[in-house]
Structure formats: structure tokens, C-alpha cells
Structure 1
Amino acid sequence: MGNEAADRRVEDMLGGSLEVLRQLPEGVVLLACEESDPASGWEVLMANDAALELYALPADVVGAGGPELLRQTGIDEAGARQIAETFRSREAGNITVLVTRGDGSRVWATIELTPLVAPAADESVSLWVAVSRDVSAQVENAHLEQVRLDIERRARLALSIVARVSDILQEPDSSDVLRAIADLVTRQVVAWCGFFVLGRDLEEVERIVDRPDHRRRVTAEDLARDPVLELLEGNVMRTVRLEPDAHGEPGTATARLLDLLAPRLAEAPEAEGSVLVLPVLGRLRALGLFVALPYHGPASARISGVLGSETAEESIAILPDEVGTVLELVARRVGMAMDNAQLYAREHLLAETLQRSMLPEQADVPELDVWTYYAPNVEHAQVGGDWYDVVNLAEDTVAVVIGDVVGHDVEAAAAMGQLRSVVRAYAQELADPATVLSRVDSLVTGMRIPRTASLVYATMTRRGDEWDLRYARAGHLPALLRRGSEVITLDEAGGPLIGFDGGTRETAQVRVRPGDVLVLYTDGLVERRDRGMRQGLEELIQLTRGVHAPDAAGVGEELLQLADAPEDDIAVVVIRVPGGRGQEEDSAPRRRRWQLPSDPSSIARARQEVRRACAAWDVADVSAAELVVSELMSNAVMHGWGRVGLRLQATSDGLRIEVEEGNPAPPVTREQNTSRVGGYGMHIVDRLADWGWRPAPGGKVVWARVRR
């Protein structure tokens, strides 16, 4: 346009308003746009002084309009496209663009485009008014607010990741706790990460471990050439960046780590290639390494599900320095948890080893069927002062004691050991239970043992086919005597706890006949938070009245049903006098369990228990079962750690034998070699039974099912 006809048309349409527009403080530009070419076919008809000042351009440059004006003002392609789309739509639009002024400065401007009048039937040009405002301050404030919001969101993301790490560390199932943490950080912050410890060699781990430290004495030269070893030998939180192409000197921990990470780098093309290594610090030393492969540039982390948002997923860029902060916080939190777990595990192992070493092995009492059981409260990883003892005092006399020292720690276990030794010493010299307890009470008071204890001490003396049972109690729950379908509560001869110097004590007496079953137990068998002690005792009496097993081990198994979820340590002694009227086995649970020491004598004991169980269950092929249990127990004693758990169960398709011990390494069937002594055990088991193994919280279980 730009001709007199157009000028007259504008004058006729706006009249005196045109002068008003020229005087407005906001930039006003009148435009004429050709309908056929909204992208470049438009020109400026009028621009007021405020518009010229805003753009800092002379009137002739502004009047050029079209692509030339866009070029002069530095409006980018996106802004030009928005302007053309607004013209094409014939509807008002609002556009915010970055404008380059004539003096070279840049401002944010909002341009409001409004159509004034549509073209007549015989015209192809529409008239528009563009009102421009400098909104740099608003845009800057919005940008600062967005930056502040992004910083806050990143901080919340980092805190949420660390909080989730803490939650994972508190979860009871810790078999793969480190893998779960690594997966969380991998999804949110880095391309891949994992935890490594130094045993005999550097290896990746998925759970908190407490393995022997095989580090040798290192020199300053060793540390200078091995940055990973330097992290492990130090006690300072810092990050070492390794470049894979550097490889590391052969034989160093750095070279070993880079070799382990080579497949990870190949599987993570989004990783930048370098490796971040942080120490996992304990109180005194580095316990391991936290290794991560960062992304190229900022990591895009998903907020939904991490911050607890239920809205659509959002993405937020995690900057490299923030990645380092998150990794350091995670490494510190895992280090604290690992250090606490290892310290607690060592204390627990010390206490449990002390206690189990003081527990006697079950004595082989002629003419009596004896079964004993002890289990610490594994749910809370505590060890208490429960103990039992079965001692042959003379050819026809047996002493039985069961007790409980107050507490669940090393001191309780130590007090239990002292008390057990005192009781056993007096039992060898004195025949009367009340006298034994009185002497024990006086000695314990003089020794100033800091823990009180309850116990039941009894002697059984043979009188023909029957036995005289004489007993005394020191604040302990009464023993039970089952005779047929009747249960007698042995609640006489009571007295105060050991350690209170209770003065004169009494002895009670009862005759035990063939077929009778004597049950002694600690409070862990009957005590629960959801029921009182009296109710638990009544349930135990009812259960004892209804047991059907023909042997002491079977009776014990049925009674342990009362302790499906024990909240305390449990010790149980069951003594059955052979003979009498037999019980029906059909309704009794056909399973048995024992805790045995890691000693060669346990192999013979296991064979004996298998013979007894097979006799009770009418299992015919006893020799095969004996051979299988002998081989499994031999492996557990020779190659296992800690005490050995033996479990038997009669099933419809055979006898199932399970042996549990603390070594997590799987059993290996060696290749047969006539020149080698031994190594045939699992081949024998393979011929006689179906067998396998599974991990257990404290090691592994090897099982075998002897085929019928």
C-alpha cells in the first residue's frame, strides 16, 4: 500500500483517533497485510513516537515493514512465524519476542496484534494495529522465579533421593539393599552406579557385607600409582574421576575396577565415558567404593514418583555439581549404615558365639529319650541369657536345668555362662535340688553377678521302670508333665529369682512313669505382646495335652507351633520315658529340627537322630537316609561356618533332609579322580536323592530328598 488511497482510508476509518494513537505512551504501529502473503506481504502505515523510541529505529526503517523490519529488530524465525500465523488467523494475538534495538541493546517486547477491519469484497488487504510494550522487567522476574523454582525442585529431588536411600536401608529384607539403592540413583541421577568392596580382590556387592579385610601394607609409592587404593586407605570424602582409556597400572585396584566397568561402559552409551569413584566411609576407615558413570551433560531426572507427585511426570535437569552432591550424600548415608550394620553384626556374632559355646551338647542319657532346642530371637538380632543343661550325674541319675538370665546382650550371655558353670559344679556334689539352688544363690550374691536369673533345677533317679523327679524353682515358669491325656503343672517348690538370696528353698517330688513326657521351657515359648503370660501358659498346656508324636523330638516339634513368631529367645527340653501306651503318629507333624555344633561328633549325632525319626515314621530305607545325612553334615562341618541346623521332614515322596550353615558359597560336585582322596560326597548324595541348595539369611541350606 503506501499510497494516498490507503492513507485516506486510514484517515476516514480512524478520523481524529489517529492523532490520539500518535500521542499514546505505548508503541502503536498501524499495519496493512496482504491476505495472500501474511508472512512478508505487510507494511507499516504509521508508527507513533513511542514505537520509534522503543525500537530505537528511524521512521524510514520502521516504515519499511515486512521481512526488513524483522531483520532490523532481530526478531527470530519463531517470532516471525507467530506474527504470520496471527495475520492468517484474522484474530487478535499476543506475541512476546526478544527485540534488538537500533542502538544494539536488547529488550523483551510484547506485541498485541488486533485486526481493525476486514478487507472489502474487492480488496485483498486487511488493516491491523500493533501495540508494543517493553516487558523486560516482567520477563526477567519470571526467569528468576523459574531459576529459583528449578533450584528448589533440584534440592527437593536430592533430598528425596537421600530420604528414599534411608528408607531402603531400614527395610528388613536387606539381601539386595545396595543393589536397590544403586538402581534408584541410576534411574534418577547417573547412567549407572554400583558398590564395590575389597576382599581378596575388588568385587561388586549387592548387600551389606562384613568380609575379612585382606589389605596388605601399602607404601606411598603404591598410593601414588593407584588412586582407587588411595581412596580405600584414606578416611576422607572426595571424588576421583577416572578416564577409561588410562587403564591403570597392571595389578592395581584402579586397573581391576576399570576392567570390571568395561562392560558397563559398553552397555551405557548415554554415559560420558569417565568414571566417578567415591569412598564409602565408616567411622575409622573406608568400607568400600561407590562408583558411578555420569550422563553426557545434565541428567534429566523424573520427579513423578520420587517427590511423591501424583501429577503427570515432569523432567528436571540435574547439573553436574548437583550430581556430585547427591552421590556424596548417598555414599555417606550408606557408609553410616554399613558401619552400624557391621558393628552390630560383630557384636551379635560375639554374643551368640559366646552363648552357643556355653550351651551344652545334648547328653546321650541311657533309657531316656531327650530332645533339646535353642533359638535366639533372629527377628531383632538379639541374644539373651536362655540356657539348658542335661547332665549324667551317676549311672541312674540325670540332672536337668533350664534358665533365663535377664537381658539380651553380651553381658546377659556372659552372666548365663557364669551361672551355668556354678549350677553344674554344685550339681556334681549335691543331690537335693533345693540345696543346689540355695548354694547357687549365695555364691551368685557374693560374686556380684549384675543380672538376676530364673531357672528350674531337677534330678531324675531311676527306680525300676519309673523315675523319681525332684525339682526346685527359682522364679521360673513351671515344668509340665504329660501323662496320657493329662497334663500336670509342676508348680510347687517355688522361690525368688537367683540373685536375691531367697533363704531356705524347698524340693518337690513326683514319680515319672513309662510313656510320660517332661517339658521344660523358657518364657519365649509362651510370651507375646498380644496375650498375657497366663493365657500363653494355658495354650501350652492345651497343646501339650494333645500332642501325638511317639518320641521326644516329635513332641518338641508340636510344641514349637506355639512359637511361630517368637519375640524372645526360646529354649526347650523334652524328656520322654520310653514305654507306656504309644500315641498315634498319623495326626502328628512329621518333621524334626536340631541345632548342632560344627564338630565331627555332630555327624554321628545326626545319623542317630535320622534313625530315631525313621523309626517313628516307619520309613523303610534308613541306610540311604543315614548315608545322605552323613555326607551333608560332613560338608557342613568341614566347609561351613558356625553351628549347623538339621531338619527332617517325611513327605509322601520320601524323606527330606535339610542342613543349614553360615557359608554362603554353593556346594560343588567335584570331578571324580581316582588319585584324589575324598571328594565323592555329593556324588553319593546324587545317586541316592534329589538334592539342591538355596541361600539363607545367615548362609545357605543344602537339601536332599531321599527317594522311596
Structure 2
Amino acid sequence: MAGPKQSGTTRRRSSERPGPGLDEALRAIGTGAYVVDENGRIVAVNSHALELLACRAEDLLGRDAHDLLHRDAHGQSMPAARCGMRQQFHAARTAQGEQEYFARGDGTVVPISWLITPYDTGGRGPGTLVLFHAPRSEEEAEPPSRSAPRKLSELERLALLAETTTRLTSTLDVEEALRRLAALVVPRLADWAVVDLITERGEVSRTAVVHAEGGTLVCREDLQGPMPPIPQESPLPLSRALRGAASTVAGPQTYRREPDSGIAVEQRRLFEATGIRSAAIVPIRSTRRVLGALTLGRAEVPGDFTPADLPLIEDIARRTGLALDNALLYQRQRKVAETTQNHLLPQMPRVPGLQMAVRYLPAPDASHVGGDWYDAFSLSDGTTALAVGDVVGHDLEAAAGMAQLRNMLRAYAWALPEPPSGIVDRLDEALQHITDVTMATLVFARIE
């Protein structure tokens, strides 16, 4: 296993390569990390793991992680039946362990702490993320006080951030992204999660209020809805977060004073209705603007938030902002595409003695716009023309080609006293010369 160290993230060459999210997530993790497939074979590894294990990536990729790495304190192979990590891997659940040993490339073993969790490999099938590091002192293994909330270990923090990145960036639906965010932080960090979003017109909406009840997440719709305008001078935590000014730890006492804005009134109502005694309020930003604010509240979870908790929650909010920004851009583009498509598709003409009905169903997993079209229009001799066609493609370029083709067909049909076959022949001759359409199918008929 000995060899020169490598930097960056390395993965096995394969026809089924993990998506870019896997590389980015491993690269951003500040400790040893690798991903195994459903058979336990390593498919990706980061530079921190290579450094801790003193080996090269090619010595790891494609190998069974347990057989290759896991050892006892004397450097002997660990039987799979005695391996707690292996058992949790087969159970496909999150788990952690202390005082284990991994083999290094120089023949020695290194004591490690580890955490594993199911992981989305980006189209490669079910996978598992393994995080490990060499404890710097025995203090890291000390159990937390029962009177205080259990602090996340460094491995758990890194796993949470990696999971936040992969889960939120794998959807382009705003509501689904918010559901995933709530499932990530409740009840792991708090028992309440509240998201306030700012529209492009500057209006604020309390979009999500989620609570953990008996192991399930419950949405409190009675606390959601439009919010008052953002005050520009208010020093209160939510107002500052919505302006992108700062992150703050707050409690009910923060909003018991005379409210300075409508937002302060709504925030006091939130604390009273939920029983939150401690909250962390942070901005949600994209690269372009402030998108809103995330409030995590503790009502039943022991312990209060402290300023030391804010960096982790800010990291989660930053990843949330990037995911929401992508989702909002996608939804805006889809709306433009759908509007364009609807304007290109005509209304059916009223023809005495003839009934026409139309149904148009765009593909839900595409861009909702493309080259499919239908048409019905009157001809110069008083008859009615019907057309159903499809230009190759599923995007705005195909829709533009469809508009060209449809208008050409209308012009030929109106101007030329020929049967439908003759009209289509002329259209076929002109298609390659005066349009960018590469191929189209068409059914054209005339009703007399």
C-alpha cells in the first residue's frame, strides 16, 4: 500500500461515474473520507484519507474497505463477524465508533474514530459515506454531560454538512428542498425549524414551520403565511438576519419588549405558540442576494444555543441558500418556457358543425417546452385544416423551430390550392433551406 501521496479527490474510472456532487462533497470534508458501494468496495476517496493512511488512491479504489483497512490493535485482520462498522453498513444506517484501527500503507496501524451514514452516490446506486480521523486526545472520547445537549462530534458535523450538500442540491423543487432541510436539522440540532423566504419583490413569507413530534415531522401551517415588510433599522435578530446583517442567538425575552415592527410581533407569536426557549437565527444567502432566514428552536431538546453553535448553522444555511437559488432559477426558467409554449399553441377556431377538443401534456421531467404542437385554422376556400406535429428536441430551440414550421405550414396551406400531400411536399422542400429544423414529423389534414 505504500506510495506517494495524492492531493484532491480520486475515484475509480468507470462507465458509471458518480456525479460532481460526490467529488465536491468529499473534497470539502476536512477529515478522512471515502465512499463505498453496496458491496462495500471503495469508489471514491479524498486526500485527507490518503494522508492518514499513507497510501495511494489506486491502492484503495475498487477494494473491499473492511478487508483492506480494518485491523485490531495488534495489526491483525478483523473478522467481519466482530466488526461493528460492517454490521452497521449492512443495516444501512448511521452509526459511529471509537478506538478502532485502520491499516496504513507503511505497515503500521492508526487508531481512528469513525462515522458511517447512507449516502447518495449520484446515480451509481446506494452507497455509504465513511468518515474517520485520528483523535488528538483522549478528551474527544469523553461522554457529554447529561444536563447539556449532546454536542456533535467533528465527524458528525462534517457528515451533516456533506449530507446537506448532496441532499439539497439533488432537487430543483423549493418545497422538496425545504422538506429535506427540516429532516436534516430536526431533531438532530433542534425540535423546531422555521424558514422565512424573501420574494424577488422583497415580500417575506413564512414558508415552513416544522416540529418534531414522536419521531415524525409535523408542519404547523397555522404559523405559516405572509409576513410584514422587513424593517431597515430594527436591531432585533430576525430583522437583521433578513437583511443579511448577522446571525444571533435569541430567546422569548428578546421579543417581550415593545415590538418595533410587524415582524417582531410575528416572531413573538412564534415563540409563544411553539414554546421555543432558545433559538439560533441565521441568514440564508445565495451568491446574488439574501434569500431569507433560518430559525432553529429548542423547546424540549435540552440546553440552549450558544454563539459557538452558529458557525455550523451558518454553513447549513449557506448550502441551503445555494440549493434554493438553483431551484428558484429553474422554476423561473420553467415558467418562462411554459408561458412561451402556451402562447405558441393556438386556440381552436369555432367551425359550424364541427367539434374539436385538445389536450396537451408536456413531459413532467423535461423543461415543459419543446417542439410538439397542434393547430386548426380556416383555409381560403372555407374548409378547415388540422395539424399535429413534432420538431425534434425538448427545449426552447425546438419550440422556436416549431413556431417557424407551424407558420410556414399555415402560409402554404392558405396560399396554395393543393391537397394536403402537396402542401407537405412543399414544406419538406423548404425546411432545410430556410429554417434550422433538422427533422420533424407531421400529420396534416383538410376537412371539407
Under a length normalisation based on structure 1, what TM-score does the superposition of the two structures give? 0.35
Does 1:290 find its partner at 2:282? no
Question: Is the Cα contact below 8 Å between 2:337 and 2:396 reproduced in 1?
Answer: yes
Aligned pairs for 1:187-586 (under 5 A) are: 187-198=187-198, 200-205=203-208, 222-225=232-235, 227-234=237-244, 238-247=246-255, 249-264=259-274, 266=275, 268=276, 273-294=277-298, 320=306, 323-394=309-380, 397-432=383-418, 433-437=420-424, 439-440=426-427, 445=432, 447=434, 449-462=435-448
Distance in 2 (alpha carbons) for counterparts of 1:351 and 1:197 = 24
| SS of residue in 1 equivalent to 2:316 | helix
Aligned pairs for 1:71-150 (under 5 A) are: 145-149=137-141
| SS of residue in 2 equivalent to 1:371 | coil
Quickly say closer, same or farther: Cα 1:184–1:389, change in 2 above 3 A.
Answer: same
- 1:159 corresponding residue in structure 2: 158
Deviation at 1:294, TM superposition (A): 4.9
- 2:91 corresponding residue in structure 1: none
Letter in 1 for 2:254: A
Deviation track 1:522-546 (CA, whole Å, cap 9, x = no partner) reads xxxxxxxxxxxxxxxxxxxxxxxxx
- 2:186 corresponding residue in structure 1: 186
| SS of residue in 1 equivalent to 2:160 | helix
Letter in 1 for 2:208: V
Structure with max Cα Rg: 1
Quickly say closer, same or farther: Cα 1:252–1:372, change in 2 above 3 A.
Answer: closer
Which moves more between the two structures, 400-409 or 319-328?
319-328
Question: Is the Cα contact below 8 Å between 2:193 and 2:209 reproduced in 1?
Answer: no
Distance in 1 (alpha carbons) for counterparts of 2:206 and 2:318 = 20
Question: Is the Cα contact below 8 Å between 2:386 and 2:445 reproduced in 1?
Answer: yes
| SS of residue in 2 equivalent to 1:259 | helix
Distance in 1 (alpha carbons) for counterparts of 2:227 and 2:266 = 16
Letter in 2 for 1:242: A
Deviation at 1:446, TM superposition (A): 5.3
Quickly say closer, same or farther: Cα 1:289–1:398, change in 2 above 3 A.
Answer: same
Deviation at 1:149, TM superposition (A): 4.8
| SS of residue in 1 equivalent to 2:369 | coil
Distance in 1 (alpha carbons) for counterparts of 2:185 and 2:381 = 68
Which moves more between the two structures, 172-181 or 273-282?
172-181
Distance in 1 (alpha carbons) for counterparts of 2:334 and 2:290 = 22
Deviation track 1:19-39 (CA, whole Å, cap 9, x = no partner) reads xxxxxxxxxxxxxxxxxxxxx
Deviation at 1:253, TM superposition (A): 2.6
Letter in 2 for 1:436: I
Deviation track 1:155-177 (CA, whole Å, cap 9, x = no partner) reads 22123323443454336987554
Question: Is the Cα contact below 8 Å between 1:178 and 1:206 reproduced in 2?
Answer: no
Deviation at 1:375, TM superposition (A): 0.7
Quickly say closer, same or farther: Cα 1:187–1:434, change in 2 above 3 A.
Answer: same
Quickly say closer, same or farther: Cα 1:323–1:294, change in 2 above 3 A.
Answer: farther
**Structure 2 spans left out of the alignment, 5+ residues:** 1-133, 144-150, 211-225
Question: Is the Cα contact below 8 Å between 1:358 and 1:417 reproduced in 2?
Answer: yes
Question: Is the Cα contact below 8 Å between 1:177 and 1:206 reproduced in 2?
Answer: no
Deviation track 1:115-166 (CA, whole Å, cap 9, x = no partner) reads xxxxxxxxxxxxxxxxxxxxxxxxxxx9964334579971221233234434
Deviation at 1:262, TM superposition (A): 2.4
Letter in 1 for 2:417: A
Distance in 1 (alpha carbons) for counterparts of 2:227 and 2:300 = 37
Deviation track 1:629-651 (CA, whole Å, cap 9, x = no partner) reads xxxxxxxxxxxxxxxxxxxxxxx
Deviation at 1:386, TM superposition (A): 0.7
Letter in 2 for 1:355: Q
Question: Is the Cα contact below 8 Å between 1:351 and 1:413 reproduced in 2?
Answer: no
Question: Is the Cα contact below 8 Å between 2:192 and 2:296 reproduced in 1?
Answer: yes
Deviation at 1:216, TM superposition (A): 7.0
| SS of residue in 1 equivalent to 2:336 | helix
Deviation track 1:294-349 (CA, whole Å, cap 9, x = no partner) reads 589986xxxxxxxxxxxxxxxxxx99566323312221222111111111011111
Quickly say closer, same or farther: Cα 1:456–1:364, change in 2 above 3 A.
Answer: same
- 1:631 corresponding residue in structure 2: none
Distance in 1 (alpha carbons) for counterparts of 2:190 and 2:312 = 10
Quickly say closer, same or farther: Cα 1:202–1:171, change in 2 above 3 A.
Answer: closer
Question: Is the Cα contact below 8 Å between 1:179 and 1:206 reproduced in 2?
Answer: no
Letter in 1 for 2:281: V
Question: Is the Cα contact below 8 Å between 1:202 and 1:257 reproduced in 2?
Answer: no
Letter in 1 for 2:335: L
Identity of aligned residues (%): 28
Deviation at 1:396, TM superposition (A): 5.5
| SS of residue in 1 equivalent to 2:346 | coil
| SS of residue in 1 equivalent to 2:259 | coil
Letter in 1 for 2:279: V
Distance in 1 (alpha carbons) for counterparts of 2:282 and 2:346 = 48
| SS of residue in 2 equivalent to 1:373 | coil
Distance in 2 (alpha carbons) for counterparts of 1:279 and 1:153 = 22
Question: Is the Cα contact below 8 Å between 1:399 and 1:457 reproduced in 2?
Answer: no
Deviation at 1:240, TM superposition (A): 2.3
- 2:101 corresponding residue in structure 1: none
Question: Is the Cα contact below 8 Å between 1:186 and 1:192 reproduced in 2?
Answer: yes
Aligned residues: 287
Distance in 2 (alpha carbons) for counterparts of 1:319 and 1:226 = 17
Quickly say closer, same or farther: Cα 1:442–1:215, change in 2 above 3 A.
Answer: farther
**Structure 1 spans left out of the alignment, 5+ residues:** 1-141, 208-212, 300-317, 463-708
Quickly say closer, same or farther: Cα 1:369–1:224, change in 2 above 3 A.
Answer: closer
Question: Is the Cα contact below 8 Å between 2:371 and 2:402 reproduced in 1?
Answer: yes
- 2:72 corresponding residue in structure 1: none
Distance in 1 (alpha carbons) for counterparts of 2:230 and 2:293 = 19
Quickly say closer, same or farther: Cα 1:391–1:227, change in 2 above 3 A.
Answer: same
Distance in 2 (alpha carbons) for counterparts of 1:156 and 1:252 = 41
- 1:54 corresponding residue in structure 2: none
Deviation at 1:356, TM superposition (A): 1.4
Letter in 2 for 1:402: V
Deviation at 1:214, TM superposition (A): 9.7
| SS of residue in 2 equivalent to 1:374 | coil
